[in-house]
Amino acid sequence: MVLADLGRKLNAALSSLNRAPVVDDKVIDALLKEVCAALLESDVNVKLVAQLRQKVKAKVKAQFDSGADRGKEANRKNVVQKAIFDELVQLVDPGVEPYKPKKGHPNVIMAVGLQGNGKTTTCTKLAVHYQKRGFKSCIVCADTFRAGAFDQTRQSATKAKVAYFGSYTETDPVSIAAQGVAKFKKERFEVIIVDTSGRHKQESELFQEMVQISEAVKPDMTVLVLDASIGQAAEAQSQAFKDSADFGAIIVTKMDGHAKGGGAISAVAATKTPIIFLGVGEHLHDLDKFAPQPFISKLLG
Ligand code: GDP
């Protein structure tokens, strides 16, 4: 089920509450069943869905017990709807503030993630985003694993009018990353984005390489780039990256496609890390800022 369908189903479940003559346990249970089924169909982690159900029930009970509904059905409906809304927001809000680049300072951002997730595209989008906001931005291509990676960076960075660094001959990604970051720091760039290599699988060499690059460039923020279609594998994958790369932010790509998105969303709770942007297309400007509350409001339409 794609995200728009999830929104429609959640919305339909919530508005069915408006039609219920009384708000009793049976009605609340039926509503929660619908909400949870929709979340599961979208690949949101099973444990998270079970937690959401319990938390909503506990919150609603506490509110009813305290007399917050003043015995009125309309108030009872509001209590239930608000509890569900708040818990949906909690799903995508780890309560952690992401790093914010500072002007006049070399902010190093390192991107990690498996091959094909959209890392290289996202690096250019990020550079464009910060450049538009007045940060002198650039990209270092430290992906020596994938043939053609540097060409891809060169082409997209040229199109975006963003400075870039890489090498056709150097095979050591750590050395390229260190050289590129040193060069751009000297030239007073303010946002220096380091694109690292991905592999098809989570492999120990990939993680070792990421740790070495990270030690060499000392990023202010490491970003995990996750494909929205990852599904239930998100928890294990994001946890594996977290253990070695310790990323501080997530960007979910391909949210414009037919992906369910719920899996990638589950990575937030699994790693207690905030999503900062959503990739919503293949073009340079297809990057949306992410914030939990507006995202859920928009989802519910
Ligand atoms: P990498 O291997 O992780 O560096 O992945 P790439 O940046 O090369 O992207 C892989 C493919 O995904 C390319 O065809 C991109 O155009 C596409 N892609 C990346 N981000 C998005 C997105 O947000 N939406 C869509 N529709 N495609 C994307």
DSSP E strand stretches across the chain: 107-112, 137-142, 163-165, 191-196, 221-227, 249-253, 275-279, 287-289
What b-and-e string marks burial along 252-285, b requiring 16 or more CB atoms within 10 Å of the CB? bbbbebebbbbbbbbbbbbbebbbbbbbbbeebe
The finding on whether 282 has its CB within 6 A of some atom of ligand 1 is yes
Quote the pLDDT of residue 244: 86
Quote the pLDDT of residue 287: 98
Name the DSSP class of 172: -
Per-residue pLDDT tens digits for 44-72: 999 999 999 999 999 999 998 988 878 78
Q: Which of 110, 114, 121 to mutate to test the pocket of ligand 1 (most atoms within 8 A of CB)?
A: 121
Quote the pLDDT of residue 260: 83
| CA–centroid distance, residue 226 to ligand 1 (Å) | 10
The one-letter code for the residue type at 8 is R
Per-residue pLDDT tens digits for 169-206: 999 999 999 999 999 999 999 999 999 998 777 688 88
Reading the block at residue 280, the tokens are: 């919503």
The finding on whether 246 has its CB within 6 A of some atom of ligand 1 is no
The finding on whether 118 has its CB within 6 A of some atom of ligand 1 is yes
Shortest-distance atom of ligand 1 to CA 117? 3
Cα–Cα distance measured from residue 296 to residue 31, given in angstroms and rounded to the nearest whole number: 18
Quote the pLDDT of residue 54: 97
- Closest-CA residue, ligand 1 atom 19, reads 118
The finding on whether 261 has its CB within 6 A of some atom of ligand 1 is no
Question: Percent of the chain having pLDDT more than 70?
Answer: 99
| CA–centroid distance, residue 120 to ligand 1 (Å) | 7
Low-confidence ranges of the chain (pLDDT < 50): none
| CA–centroid distance, residue 124 to ligand 1 (Å) | 11
- The predicted model scores a pTM of 0.94
Q: Does the interface ipTM go beyond 0.95?
A: yes
Q: State the number of CA atoms in the 13 A half-sphere of 170 facing the CB.
A: 16
Dmax over Cα atoms in the chain, in whole Å?
A: 74
Quote the pLDDT of residue 1: 61
Reading the block at residue 164, the tokens are: 């870039």
| CA–centroid distance, residue 17 to ligand 1 (Å) | 40
| CA–centroid distance, residue 117 to ligand 1 (Å) | 6
Quote the pLDDT of residue 200: 73
The finding on whether 288 has its CB within 6 A of some atom of ligand 1 is no
Quote the pLDDT of residue 67: 86
